[in-house]
Structure 1
Amino acid sequence: MTRTLLHKPTLTGKLVELRPFDEEAINAMLEILTEPDVLKRTGTVDSTDQAQRGNPLSEEKTRAWYATRHEQTDRIDLAIYSFALQRYIGEVVLNDYDADKCSLNFRIAIGKRGQGSGHGTEATKLIVDYAFDYLDIDRIELEVFELNERARHVYTSVGFVETGRIKNSFTFDGTSYDAITKAVTRDNRHVPHQLTLAAA
């Protein structure tokens, strides 16, 4: 890789900035992970009752998880900061590096305050461009539940194309949903974003 996954960049767009996790970002994620809709769409819980109870992991375990993100050598976790809202609104993750396929997995989670304003689309474009421009990566893959229409639209707009389905991958309130697998490559990604890296 041109840069390793140990390097946690700061990526600046017009709407958002992706930043390494700090205490403020961790506190924001603790709040976001209590939102029932986030827990449902990420497959963290499997019923409305569980979603209403919030994050199944304790605050202590969740805080410890995010506090060690900057130490990880096999993944990049960045917090999404909204300029308009002047607050952290979610996270993006690149993980599951596959050296044989030169690929990474991608996921994103955004709380209700940051939804519907283009934040997710720009955050996805920023991290996809970073992976292709600064890492030795040819392909980025993801899984998204069919019920998560908002996320599916974002991924398509960035250039992810459907590669398959995993039938009945997730059950919520007794209803089963497929997981859709999607991928974007150097050849079929969107027109590159104007990526700005903060000084190291």
Structure 2
Amino acid sequence: MINTRALRDKPTLIGKRVRLVPLGPEHTDAYFAAGLDEEIRRLTGTHHHLTYGEAKEWCRTRERSTDRLDLAIIAADDGRYLGELSLYAVAPENESAGYRIALSALEFTGRGLGREATRMVLEYAFEHVGLHRVWLHVYAFNMRAIAVYRSCGFSVEGRLRDSLLWEGRRHDALLMAVLENGFCGS
């Protein structure tokens, strides 16, 4: 059974190198700036450029959201904004949800920060929210992300052919999921 309170009461999760905190207005500037990074936009398949007003409204309304969990990824040592992640499309009747993560700059990739954040949120999803399955889409060219997801227990379940058109080229997306009994915790 899904614990909807675990989505309503936005947690702070503390790891060794990252803290996951409720995404809020204080993250607007960093959230907006991350959306301007062309490589991050390519990796996430984000065509739309958010205006500052849209970013501000998004960050401002996350605390009131009761059907999803949006968390900022913060460096444990210096408090720097590293990115954000979400559990969304929560389907209580199926005990499942979608997952997305975006680090805010390429300088944060390859250091295990996304892996730590993913493991922390999956542990929360399975142990506190009561989910059985967490799924995601990742573009097939994003080999680093695919490796991180596999290390957290995700398996490829399917391929969405030509799902992204980026600068005149079409790219497949992989559907990956992890079940509570297949999760590789911290």
Comparing 141-150 with 8-17, greater Cα deviation is found at: 141-150
TM-score (norm 1): 0.87
Q: 2 CA distance for matches of 1:39 and 1:85?
A: 25
User: What's the CA shift string for 1:120-179, capped at 9, x where partnerless?
Assistant: 000000000000010121000001111111211111110000000011000111111111
Match of 1:110 among 103, 108, 112: 103
Q: How does 1:10-49 map to 2 (within 5 A)?
A: 10-45=12-47
Does the 8 Å contact 2:25/2:56 carry over to 1? no
Q: 1 CA distance for matches of 2:133 and 2:76?
A: 30
Q: 2 CA distance for matches of 1:186 and 1:34?
A: 35
Gaps of 5+ in 1: 46-54, 194-200
Does the 8 Å contact 2:22/2:72 carry over to 1? yes
Gaps of 5+ in 2: none
Q: 1 CA distance for matches of 2:129 and 2:174?
A: 25
Amino acid in the other structure paired with 2:51: S
Q: 1 CA distance for matches of 2:54 and 2:24?
A: 16
Superposed structure 1 runs of 4+ greater than 4 Å apart: none
Please tell me whether residue 128 in structure 1 is matched to residue 122 in structure 2.
yes
Does the 8 Å contact 1:82/1:114 carry over to 2? no
How far off is 1:43 after superposition?
A: 0.8
* Greater RCO (CA < 8 Å, at least 6 residues apart): 1
Secondary structure of the equivalent of 1:187?
A: helix
Match of 1:93 among 72, 77, 86: 86
Please tell me whether residue 72 in structure 1 is matched to residue 65 in structure 2.
yes
Secondary structure of the equivalent of 2:16?
A: coil
How far off is 1:24 after superposition?
A: 3.3
Amino acid in the other structure paired with 1:154: V
Q: Give the % identical residues.
A: 35
Q: 2 CA distance for matches of 1:22 and 1:62?
A: 10
Matched residue, 1:82? 75
